[in-house]
């Protein structure tokens, strides 16, 4: 039995109408479901049984494949559909692990946290691990490059919510730079950009940007030499 034959009556009258409410994606999950509302990108409906769930195509594939504990299992999905969705979920999990390992590798390549003194001793000024927000961080200044040390402390929301809020503030400044200077979005989708963010984070507050002269001369020479050494 095909997906179309076992699909419930949900008000969708043709394949074209189904495709209208389909995410712009070639994910295999969309063979077995569609968006319920074009304005809600996470609410999907199963073509086999009509079950609706939040969580997008990932949750839809768990439903069809009868895996996971976050969604009701589909009793009408075919064995072929189950196998395809399981494989897609496993591939996604593997890719996430590979991406996480790659990002950890990039972080470990950064040496900003190790500064040698005149006595050749190593002094740590940062950590390869993300900063963990403790109780003291609930009383802190909001992230604001224009803020001065004399500004009074204000109470912030703790831990996970605080971390998410502070990260969002940083992202807004990065986005503002991208938009103001019409920087290509692709310029932010590479290892060098991630390394730059990690290096700035390890350095901490008070980093002065490189001067135009340094960018034109000394830093350019150093990067040229580094690139040449890789050839």
Map out the domains of the chain as residue ranges.
3-103, 131-230
What mean pLDDT do residues 34-47 have? Answer: 90
What is the band of 72 on the pLDDT scale with cuts at 50, 70, 90? Answer: very high
Average pLDDT of every residue of the chain: 78
Note the pLDDT tens digit of each residue in 125-169: 444 455 555 544 444 445 555 554 444 344 444 567 888 888 999
Contact in structure between 115 and 123 (CB atoms under 8 Å): yes
Please provide the distance, in angstroms rounded to a whole number, between the alpha carbons at the two ends of the chain: 57
Report the predicted TM-score, pTM, of the whole model to 2 decimal places. 0.51
What is the band of 14 on the pLDDT scale with cuts at 50, 70, 90? Answer: very low
């Amino acid at each position: 039995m095909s997906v179309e034959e076992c699909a419930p009556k949900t008000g969708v009258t043709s394949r074209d109408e189904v495709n209208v409410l389909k995410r712009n994606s070639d994910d295999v999950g969309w063979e077995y479901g569609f968006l319920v509302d074009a304005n809600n990108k996470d609410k999907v409906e199963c073509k086999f049984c009509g079950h609706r769930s939040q969580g997008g195509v990932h949750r839809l594939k768990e439903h069809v494949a009868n895996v996971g504990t976050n969604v009701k299992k589909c009793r009408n999905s075919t064995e072929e559909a189950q196998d395809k969705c399981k494989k897609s979920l496993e591939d996604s999990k593997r890719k996430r692990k590979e991406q996480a390992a790659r990002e950890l590798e990039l972080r470990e390549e950064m040496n900003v946290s190790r500064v040698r003194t005149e006595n050749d001793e190593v002094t740590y000024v940062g950590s390869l691990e993300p900063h963990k927000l403790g109780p003291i961080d609930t009383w802190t200044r909001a992230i604001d490059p224009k803020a001065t040390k004399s500004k009074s402390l204000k109470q912030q929301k703790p831990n996970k919510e605080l971390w998410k809020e502070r990260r969002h503030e940083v992202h807004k400044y990065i986005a503002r730079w991208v938009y103001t200077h019409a920087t290509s979005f692709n310029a932010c989708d590479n290892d060098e950009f991630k390394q730059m963010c990690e290096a700035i984070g390890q350095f901490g507050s008070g980093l002065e940007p490189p001067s135009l002269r340094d960018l034109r001369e000394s830093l350019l020479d150093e990067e040229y030499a580094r690139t040449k050494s890789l050839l």
